[in-house]
Amino acid sequence: MGAPEEAPSELPAEYQRHQRVWLSGLAARSATVVQVTQSRTANNHRELSVVRGEYLEVLDDSKNWWKVVNVLGQVAHVPHTIVKTYAPVRDGDEGQQQHQQHPPEGRGGQALVVSNSKDTSRRPSGPVSGENCPNSNNRMSKEDPKGDGQINPGFQGDSFVPRDTVLPMTDIVDTRVVVGAEDRSSLGDGQTANGGPAGAEEGRPQRQQEEEEEEGDYGILTLLPFYPWLKKRVRAGTEGVNTGLWIKRLVLAVIAALYFCYFVAVLAIHTTAEEGRYWCDGDGLLIIITFLVLVGLFYFQILKPYFGRTIYKKVLKPIGILFEKAWRFRVLRLGVYVGLLLIVFLFLLVDAWHETHRLISLFGLFVLLFLGFIFSKAPRKVRWRHVAWGMGLQFLLGIIILRWPVGKAVFECAGDKVSAFLAFTDKGSGFVFGDLVTKQFVFAFKVLSVILFFSFCIQILYYWGVMQWVVIKLGWVLQVTVGTTACESVNAAANIFLGQTEAPLLIKPYLSLMTESELHAVMTGGFATIAGSVLAAYISFGVDPAHLLSASVMSAPAALAFSKLFYPETKVSRTGVKDIKIEKGEETNWLHAAMIGVTNAIPLVANIAANLIAFYAFIAFCNGVFDWTCTLAGAAEGTCSLESLFGWIFMPLAWVMGVDWAECEKVGELIGIKSIANEFLAYQRLSEMKKNGDLSKRAEIIATYALCGFSNLSSIGINLGGFSAMAPDRKADLAKVVVRAMIAGSAACFLTACVAGTLLSDDAYGGAAAAINGTQAAFT
């Protein structure tokens, strides 16, 4: 290799100044390198030596920390590594070619060149021939058919070495790295431009020089018979030690030890107490949290890194292949569907034998599905797998949340904890607004302040990556079960926590490629659910938090099911993606993320307040006009209103959802307010009805599920504006499907209410009433 070359202009400054960059897990970093070779070190580790190029991605399926080479030429130690390259394998310089032709005995392999640079002058000339490359199978790359070294920049993967394969072994030849002239003066004493020690001979591997210098470091110990073993152990333990990493591990170990002492002390104190253990509070909750943390550590630190691939190959993959082969038989699929349907029907028939009014909700569920099929965009194109699995998953979630004692207790406990957590907002808003919060109930100060605090906390979870992990896992479940695409599934999962315009940001790169059916499904998911920030405001009204949480979760599969029924897929999807990676934000730390969350919530709070003012005034105006016309016709003053009109129109819908006929007008009024104005006004009106005792517990719960969604006329403009900004080339298609998506979102909310009305027994109302009373007490 010759003298050091000038660094590319796009090389980040931090890579020119720092000696190492430490990463873990799946990671990728830009580095200017030329040559990638792999060798077996003295401690029997595979080792990478990187010399020049632009982009290298290292995938490590084991739990190992590893170093990535930067511009000072440090060697990357990567135990058990798989390397994915982004350009074809090419010949290096003459020294490399000679090394390839005469590999060391027992180590044969191929020196690789990894380069993605658009500057072809930096690339070694000429592709590797099929004779010299062991992985080429004597064929040229599809991305380089002419063999002239020009690479398709959009190509990912390498031509001759298959992706996700371990590279062949070879010696390290050089570790020279390009350093700009302006940065050579910043090199530390005792270093050359190639990162090696001062005085290192040109063209000699840095690793070889280090090994020669270490020969005399052990002094008299070299006379001991176990000197070779000792030398290997010392080198393995001290080579490339990251002090910061070990300090971090030491701090975590101290924290773990202190927590263990605290946990044992808590158990000892409460074990001697006479009162029983309550699992939703006190030491019972501490035991559950500790258990979940230990399970998570075991899974992510032991099971997945060391046994995950084996379990997948030996257990999960064979089961999946067997299931796919068996599922191809139409008779088997039909038998499974019919069998599951009969099981569900028999269960409901037996369970509701003494509460036949619950079967009306089941009847309403079939009525809504039938109407969706009748008014479908393409009834003959409906894929019933989407509908069956979507409704089946919703029904399963309903059984777990509403009927299974453990699941019901978990969601009720979660609802109580969320209520207690959000009640701390009063401490902050009370400090700012005083008696307007602590002694009076002023909506703008008492309720809207909750949104600020909740957004503050959610943004911190995003910075830590918690929300991304939850959304991806829930999206994977929906993708595997319902059968929708990854984009549709991830968006539906994100809508459980995010708003109708925030969730699509996760799949923004794919929006322009989506079919009309996929756009319809994405928009339906936004209409059928509510955001976590406004959910906090609804809880402050006194609405049962357990039912709000369960409604948000249950509506996700219902939205996908009804969307694919109401607007089935008639074209081939062009997204072609199986996995979606959600990147973290650009926040510098958790405090910065929290401040961004509060800042982003300010327009939301202002928008909610402005909409409430405008819509309340508009509804009052409409009531005045409507009452005036009725008075002219001879009706008594005050008997006609917009709310009563909505109640009459939506009475049949309220009845098929399972509401008693005497209360259908009240629930129909809530549905009308939610559909014409927004769910905020509807929940506030529901809160007033509950305080006045106008509704029974069953009607309250069904109304809670039916109102839990953004499906209203005002949201059409919000959705259309947000999606048009993200995919401006699809404005016409978005305008075509947005009204249908709003109707489908409303139907998904009503389906969730029907499932809740079918599964909720009369015995459950006491628990629901207790939860509501506890929530109201937390905010008073």
Q: Is the pLDDT of residue 421 over 50?
A: yes
- State the pLDDT at residue 289: 92
Helices (H), 633-712: 642-649, 651-656, 664-676, 679-692, 697-706
Instruction: Look at residues 191, 192, 154, 163 and name the one whose alpha carbon lies nearest to residue 4.
Output: 192
Taking phi over 0 as left and psi of -120 to 50 as alpha, with beta for the rest, 49 belongs to beta
Q: Give the burial string for 509-530 (b: 16+ CB within 10 Å, else e).
A: ebbeebbbbbbbbbbbbbbbbb
Q: Are 672 and 655 in contact (CB under 8 A)?
A: no
- State the pLDDT at residue 439: 78
Angle, helices 642-649/664-676, rounded to nearest 10 degrees: 110
Instruction: Look at residues 682, 407, 764, 670 and name the one whose alpha carbon lies nearest to residue 553.
Output: 407
Q: Is the pLDDT of residue 38 over 80?
A: no
Q: What is the pLDDT of residues 304-319, one digit of tens each?
A: 889 989 998 999 889 9
The SS3 assignment for 492 reads: helix
Q: Is the pLDDT of residue 477 over 80?
A: yes
Residue 96 C-alpha from the chain's centroid: 45
Instruction: Look at residues 345, 693, 711 and name the one whose alpha carbon lies nearest to residue 495.
Output: 711
Higher pLDDT, 262 or 39: 262
- State the pLDDT at residue 237: 57
- State the pLDDT at residue 669: 92
Report the range of poorest mean pLDDT among 177-191, 221-235, 451-465, 493-507: 177-191
Rounded to an integer, the average pLDDT of 331-343 is 88
Q: Are 535 and 415 in contact (CB under 8 A)?
A: no
- 27-33 β-sheet, strand order: 27-33, 53-59, 82-84
DSSP output for 298-346: HIIIIIIIIIHHHHIIIIIHHHHHHHHHHHT-HHHHHHHHHHHHHHHHH
**Residue 275: which pLDDT band, with cuts at 50, 70 and 90?**
low
Report the range of poorest mean pLDDT among 126-130, 298-302, 390-394, 722-726: 126-130
- State the pLDDT at residue 62: 37
Range with top average pLDDT, 743-747, 758-762, 767-771: 743-747
Report the range of poorest mean pLDDT among 39-53, 166-180, 378-392, 396-410: 166-180
- State the pLDDT at residue 518: 93
Rounded to an integer, the average pLDDT of 615-630 is 87
Q: What share of the chain is helix, strand, coil (3-state, %, to 5)?
A: 60, 5, 35
The rounded percent of the chain whose pLDDT value lies above 70 is 65
Rounded to an integer, the average pLDDT of 256-280 is 82
421: buried, middle or exposed (CB in 10 Å: 19+, 13-18, 0-12)?
A: middle
- State the pLDDT at residue 232: 64
Rounded to an integer, the average pLDDT of 593-608 is 88
Q: How far apart are CA 79 and CA 61, in angstroms?
A: 10
Q: How far apart are CA 489 and CA 608, in angstroms?
A: 28
- State the pLDDT at residue 138: 33
DSSP output for 188-210: PTTB-TTSSBTTPPTTS-HHHHH
Rounded to an integer, the average pLDDT of 624-648 is 85
Q: Is the pLDDT of residue 301 over 70?
A: yes
Rounded to an integer, the average pLDDT of 379-407 is 91
Q: Is the pLDDT of residue 732 over 70?
A: yes
773 C-beta neighbours (distance < 10 Å), count: 12
At 87, list the tokens: 């350009």
Q: How far apart are CA 263 and CA 9, in angstroms?
A: 55
598: which residues sit within 8 A by CB, 6+ positions away?
A: 452, 455, 456, 459
- State the pLDDT at residue 438: 78
- State the pLDDT at residue 623: 86
Q: What is the pLDDT of residues 54-73, one digit of tens each?
A: 333 333 333 333 333 333 33
**Residue 707: which pLDDT band, with cuts at 50, 70 and 90?**
very high
Q: How far apart are CA 396 and CA 481, in angstroms?
A: 12
Average pLDDT, the chain: 72
The rounded percent of the chain whose pLDDT value lies above 90 is 26
Q: Is the pLDDT of residue 222 over 80?
A: no
DSSP output for 587-622: -SSHHHHHHHHHHHHHHHHHHHHHHHHHHHHHHHHH
pTM of this prediction exceeds 0.75: no
Instruction: Look at residues 294, 374, 415 and name the one whose alpha carbon lies nearest to residue 565.
Output: 374
Report the range of poorest mean pLDDT among 127-141, 220-234, 245-259, 451-465: 127-141
Range with top average pLDDT, 150-159, 221-230, 340-349: 340-349
Q: How far apart are CA 584 and CA 743, in angstroms?
A: 34
Q: What is the pLDDT of residues 486-540, one digit of tens each?
A: 889 999 999 988 888 888 888 888 888 899 999 999 999 999 998 887 887 888 8
Q: Are 622 and 487 in contact (CB under 8 A)?
A: no
Q: How far apart are CA 430 and CA 411, in angstroms?
A: 29
Q: How far apart are CA 582 and CA 507, in angstroms?
A: 9
